[in-house]
Structure formats: structure tokens, C-alpha cells
Amino acid sequence: MNLVLYNLFPDRLNLYGDRGNVVALQKRCEWRGIQLTIVDIKSTNDMNLSSVDIICIGGGSDREQGLITKELLKIKKEFQLGVEDGISCLAICGGYQLLGSFYVTSEGTKHMGMEICDFHSIAREDRQVGNILIDTKEFGRVVGFENHSGRTYHPYQPLGKVIKGYGNNGEDGTEGLIYHNVIGTYLHGPILPKNPAITDHIIAAAIERKYGKKELIALDDALEYETKQQAEKICLTLQRG
């Protein structure tokens, strides 16, 4: 089996080790004998969404996010069609915000989003920073690190409920978003190495879309889950924020 992954603008959207998400996907495919071709996208001119299976969008500063938005709006309709067709997508922080209708910076600058989903994000002066732990239906407990001034509000299925930390906005107790095969989240860290169930979900969804439903070969995740458990303990023992 062969899959193609687009890593969007890794030179601009790679805060807090988000490249590690691509590495996690690569290794868990490799260990199963699945060939994953990774393409670093630096211009939308290099994108062919009809041939991609997984898209990763990392986090970036407000400035970088504004520049990337202009690029992504060039392929907005194609991106929307791809999501509706079931492309797997992991969008982190600024990448998550880009899935919505618009994002307003703390200075009041409004950046239009790709309108994959009908939601918006608004930044405030204070940042929501720290280790975060959430409870999810699909993946059990999920751990990560958040550092964002944006507050996101949406009516869609969240990735999970906040146990410790802030999440989407620090108000409604939710974190992230799930829409078709898209996962949007504020969790850096990066999120995938410590949460292999999410990694496998992304791979499995991409394989099902391309080849039909197939069971993934089980891996020995003892080290990953030990790391995750330690991260959970640290998160629960620290003060919020």
C-alpha cells in the first residue's frame, strides 16, 4: 500500500515540534510496510489534491498564518472538496484556525479562513499556555501542550473534553474539532508521538478511503503509552496554566 502526505509550509508552520507529527505518521506506516511519500509543500502551485491522502498543517505565528492564508485561499474550493471526499487532515493551532471562516488577531487584523467549517477564532492579549489533558470518545485520554492566544468557538463535534488545561477557548470545556476525517486541535507537543491511537486513526482513514477498509497491523506501543502516562501524571500534578 502506498499513501501520499502533504506537509503544508513546514518552513513557516512548525511551532513546538509539529514536524514530529509527520515523523510519527511516517514511522508507524514504515513499521507496517506501508509506503508513505512525504511532500513538503512550500507553494500551492505544487499541490495536486486529487493525489493526496493525508494533509498535515502545523502551527505558526500570526504573521506567518496571514501569509499562508493568502496561499491556501487560492485552492480553497479544491481543499473543501477534498475534505468532503474524506481526505485525512491534521491541523494544529494556527492550522486549526485556518479551517474556519476567519481569525482575528489581538491587534484586530482579520484573516479569512478556508471555510472548511463554519466557525471563527478571536485572539486576546493573554495566552493560554501549559500542559493539557483531554478525554475523548475515540482515543481515550489525550495529552499535549498548548500555547495560543486565539479562542475558537464552534458547534461541531470536539476532539474531547478538557480535564486539565484550556482547550478551544477556556470557557466551554472542549478541545479541538472532528469533521469527517479532519482533526483540528490546539495540542502541540507534538501530539501524535504521545497519542498513537490518533496516529493510527489518521492512517486507517486514509487507507480505507484509498483501498477500502483494512485492519492495521498491531504494533508494540508499550513505550508510547508509558510516555503518555508520565505526561498525564505531570499534567495532573501541575497547576493549571
For the stretch 169-224, pLDDT in tens is 999 999 999 999 999 999 998 999 999 999 999 999 999 999 998 899 999 999 99
Instruction: Considering the candidates 120, 148, 154, 188, report the single residue annotated as catalytic.
Output: 188
Task: Say what the pLDDT of residue 96 is.
Answer: 95
pLDDT over 50 at 241, yes or no? no
For residues 53-77, give the mean pLDDT: 85
Tell me the C-alpha distance between 199 and 221, whole Å: 12
Active site residue 93: yes
What does the pLDDT average to over 78-102? 95
Res. 239: pLDDT tops 70? no
Q: What is the CATH number of the domain that holds 183?
A: 3.40.50.880
Partnered with residue 160 across adjacent β-strands are 175
**What's the pLDDT score for residue 63?**
74
**Rounded to 5 degrees, what angle do the CA atoms 175, 179, 185 make?**
30
Number of structural domains (the chain) is 1
Full domain range(s) for residue 88: 2-237
Q: Would you say residue 227 has pLDDT above 50?
A: yes
Question: Is 19 within any annotated ligand binding site?
Answer: no
Q: According to the model, what pLDDT value does residue 36 have? A: 98
Question: Active site includes 201?
Answer: no
State the catalytic residue, choosing from 93, 111, 120, 201: 93
Name the packing angle between helices 19-30 and 196-211 (round to 10°): 60
Q: Cell numbers of 87, please? A: 481526505
* pTM (two decimals): 0.94
pLDDT at position 84 over 80: yes
Exposed/middle/buried for residue 43 (C-beta within 10 Å: 0-12, 13-18, 19+): exposed
